């Protein structure tokens, strides 16, 4: 059952602009922009990558669904993470998290999630899954290192490619007027008086080499769960730092006024990166939190790696209002500090996802419940000017998640992940403003068998990337 009420915005997953990818298969010049778009079905019965071609006018055509070999987790209700799909820059390798529980797969403890690796055919956009365990006759994935992986990201450091995975575990919330009313949406078997204490809520690092992930090592755990599990993990552009957003423990429910004394705040963790012979180390951990601000999901690194833009959906209204903190800008130095904050128009305060242009001058955000897309002009270093905010058309409430912009800056896509199973399509003008196309939203055919939309418990798209 979907365990999110429709007027509450859940989690932002920001999808950054991917750099233009070149092929591992030949030496041909890359195209002017991405020609294929990918999302994942997150189906419990078997996660699939949905492959779409991007036509010359920006319209979409589904060309394939490719099994990941892992399980999705749509049946557990709506949950969120940014970078659930990630293309390793400069390559044609696609990484995909499988948020559901693996069972009976060699090398993966029962209940953990997994990561699939695909090679993208540069000509057709189709995917070939790469075996992560040559000791078995099957094509295997690799252990994510914890439960419910929702975010994956990579960086090259001294010629070595490292991959980070954020294992969320679960995302309970306070559904009553006080903490004594207990937690809602807990994982089966977990306590309701406090979040479960577990090392399966963590960040895991792996090394990537020629399509194979190896040497998994847990970088940090968020055992207590008092500030939630990871929503997103990402290296800074210069690969000197890593940021992790956590969900906190939000408070929401019908008739509930969000109270800072009840919810538990999200955190934005910052780590310095150290490379050793053994692999990657994350050192000098520090974090930012603000009482009254929870539900942090998507964030975007500034180009100079010195601050992050963060989306926050669960903002306390008492004992004081935090409506103005839908977007926060945080420093990432020794003592992370709040640099700026901005409000999305009132109907879209619960913002969840972010997408920042490579030059750092345009920030887009997406709000889940009210289907709001907003565009901020960023004046360096971190001034925010709201230029545009609108509601996606022809979709029901509680639907909007991941975003993607083509590298030529012409087309903008946003996922109708939960209720409509669509992709909305927009033209972008020279100032960054969005205009919806006549052929938007695109109803993904495999999610509408015989013209009938699948239920949110069957599919809840995760991730949106282009190649």
CB-CB contact of 13 with 231 (8 Å): yes
Strand, coil or helix: 400:
strand
pLDDT at position 306: 97
pLDDT at position 16: 37
Pairing of strands 400-405, 307-315: unpaired
Q: Which two tokens stand for residue 226?
A: 């008092």
Report the C-alpha gap between 311 and 456 in whole angstroms.
24
Q: What angle do CA 348, 393, 418 make, to 5 degrees?
A: 70
Whether cis (ω within 30° of 0) applies to the bond prior to 134 is: no
pLDDT at position 31: 67
pLDDT at position 344: 87
The secondary structure of residue 22, as a DSSP letter, is -
pLDDT at position 6: 32
Report the C-alpha gap between 361 and 358 in whole angstroms.
8
CA atoms within 13 A on the CB side of 63: 17
CA atoms within 13 A on the CB side of 387: 17
CB-CB contact of 49 with 96 (8 Å): yes
Please list the rounded mean pLDDT of every run of 10 residues in the chain (467 residues): 35 34 40 93 97 98 98 93 98 98 92 98 98 94 98 98 98 96 96 97 98 97 98 98 98 94 98 95 98 98 98 96 96 98 78 96 96 96 95 96 97 98 98 98 98 98 98
Architecture of domain 36-350+402-407+441-466: 7 Propeller (2.130)
Model's pTM, two decimal places? 0.93
Query: How far from 184 is each of 31, 114, 173, 193, 249, CA to CA, in Å?
Result: 48, 26, 5, 10, 10
List the chain domain ranges: 36-350+402-407+441-466
């Amino acid at each position: 059952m979907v365990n999110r009420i429709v007027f509450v915005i859940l989690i932002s997953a920001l999808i950054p602009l991917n750099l233009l990818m070149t092929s591992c298969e030949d030496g041909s010049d890359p195209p002017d922009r991405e020609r294929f778009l990918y999302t994942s079905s997150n189906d419990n019965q078997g996660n699939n990558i949905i492959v779409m071609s991007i036509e010359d006018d920006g319209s979409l055509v589904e060309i394939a669904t490719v099994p990941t070999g892992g399980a999705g987790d749509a049946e557990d209700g709506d949950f969120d993470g940014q970078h659930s799909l990630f293309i390793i820059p400069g390559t044609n390798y696609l990484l995909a998290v499988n948020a559901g529980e693996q069972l009976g797969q060699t090398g993966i403890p029962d209940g953990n999630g997994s990561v699939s690796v695909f090679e993208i055919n540069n000509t057709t956009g189709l995917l070939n899954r790469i075996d992560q365990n040559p000791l078995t006759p099957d094509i295997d994935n690799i252990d994510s290192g914890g439960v419910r992986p929702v975010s994956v990201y990579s960086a090259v450091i001294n010629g070595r490619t490292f991959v980070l995975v954020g294992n969320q575990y679960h995302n309970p919330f306070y559904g009553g007027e006080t903490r004594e009313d207990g937690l809602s949406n807990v994982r089966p078997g977990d306590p309701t008086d406090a979040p479960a204490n577990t090392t399966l809520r963590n960040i895991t690092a792996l090394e990537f080499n020629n399509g194979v992930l190896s040497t998994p090592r847990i970088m940090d755990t968020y055992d207590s769960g008092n500030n939630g599990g990871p929503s997103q993990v990402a290296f800074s552009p210069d690969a000197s730092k890593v940021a992790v957003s956590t969900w906190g423990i939000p408070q929401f429910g019908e008739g509930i006024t969000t109270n800072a004394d009840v919810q538990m705040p999200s955190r934005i963790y910052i780590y310095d990166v150290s490379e050793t012979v053994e692999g990657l180390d994350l050192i000098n951990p520090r974090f930012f939190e603000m009482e009254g601000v929870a539900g942090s999901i998507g964030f975007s690194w500034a180009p100079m790696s010195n601050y992050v833009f963060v989306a926050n959906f669960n903002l306390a209204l008492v004992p004081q209002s935090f409506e103005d903190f839908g977007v926060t800008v945080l420093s990432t130095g020794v003592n992370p500090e709040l640099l700026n904050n901005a409000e999305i128009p009132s109907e879209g305060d619960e913002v969840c996802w972010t997408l920042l242009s490579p030059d750092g001058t345009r920030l887009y955000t997406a709000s889940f419940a009210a289907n709001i897309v907003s565009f901020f002009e960023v004046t360096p270093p971190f001034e925010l000017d709201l230029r545009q905010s609108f509601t996606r058309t022809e979709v029901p409430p509680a639907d909007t998640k991941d975003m993607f912009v083509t590298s030529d800056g012409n087309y903008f896509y946003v996922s109708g992940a939960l209720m409509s199973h669509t992709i909305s399509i927009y033209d972008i003008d020279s100032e960054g403003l969005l205009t919806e196309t006549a052929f938007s939203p695109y109803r993904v055919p495999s999610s509408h068998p015989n013209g009938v939309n699948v239920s949110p418990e069957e599919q809840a798209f995760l991730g949106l990337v282009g190649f």
